[in-house]
Amino acid sequence: MRIASGLAGIVALLISCTCGAWAQGPESIGLSGPRPLAAGSVVATVVTWGLLAVVVAAIIVVARFVSVRRKRITDVLILQSQLSDAVAREPLLQGLRINPRAHVSGWRKSQVTVEVAGEVPTSELREQAMKIVGAEAWRLRPDVNTVDHLLIVPPKPRASEAVAPRG
């Protein structure tokens, strides 16, 4: 809103400064009293003020949209951080690369989507990880939709286990 009020103040200042210059013209030199208004000048003034009101209203609407979007993105980043902390605290998921990423569109009533990505060694651990993230997401925000992007990647054998004795 600070941006919109600043822009509105600048536009108002410019208009007040230029109104006096618009009134001065080469024909006004030498006239001592006010001259009568032409019929077209009233219409032009009304149209100018109307266009100015539309521009100021558009600036306010855009500033409001940007402000609401920034707040929603901040809220989603906080949710993503809380979910990452919950995954890190869980002893069952220690050492696994699981990353919950939260997304939201700019519209006011859009649903928050959390994509849980990473690698787990078994399908049971995959289900357990999704239960943990889903429960924590629902506890923080009941309108969250969780999406499973976890891959099952069996653990690789260590170098000492990979070498089989010859016999």
90 and 125 both lie in a single domain: yes
Question: Per the domain annotation, does 76 fall within a domain?
Answer: yes
pLDDT tens for the chain, residues 1 to 167:
666 667 667 767 667 656 555 555 555 555 565 555 555 688 888 899 999 999 999 999 999 989 988 999 999 999 999 999 999 999 988 888 899 999 987 666 778 899 999 999 989 999 999 999 999 999 999 889 999 998 888 877 776 655 555 55
Domain assignment present for 165 = no
Range of the domain at 93: 72-152
Buried b (16+ CB within 10 A) or exposed e, 124-147: ebbeebbebbbebbeeeeeebebe
Question: Are 44 and 63 in a shared domain?
Answer: yes
Domain-embedded: residue 63: yes
Asked whether residue 17 is assigned to any structural domain, the reply reads yes
Residue 116, classified by CB atoms within 10 Å of its CB into exposed (0-12), middle (13-18) or buried (19+), is buried
Predicted local distance difference test score (pLDDT) of residue 153: 85
Q: Is 104 found in the same domain as 77?
A: yes
Query: Are 88 and 146 within one domain?
Result: yes
| Co-location of 64 and 81 in the same domain | no
pLDDT of 25: 55
Looking at the fold, whether 107 and 144 belong to one and the same domain comes out as: yes
133 lies in some domain: yes
Q: Residue 161: inside a domain, yes or no?
A: no
- Give pLDDT, residue 76: 92
Residues 47 and 101 grouped into a single domain: no
101 domain residue, yes or no = yes
Q: Are 8 and 60 in contact (CB under 8 A)?
A: yes
**What is the 3-class SS of 44-102, one letter each residue?**
HHHHHHHHHHHHHHHHHHHHHHHHHHHHHHHHHHHHHHHHHHHHHHCHHHCCCEEEEEE
- Residue among 66, 69, 60, 145 nearest 100 (CA): 145
Strands 113-120 and 97-103 turn out to be antiparallel
Confidence (pLDDT) at 32: 61
Residues 62 and 108 reside in one and the same domain: no
- The encoded tokens of residue 139 equal 């506890």
Number of domains in the chain: 2
Same domain assignment for residues 41 and 110: no
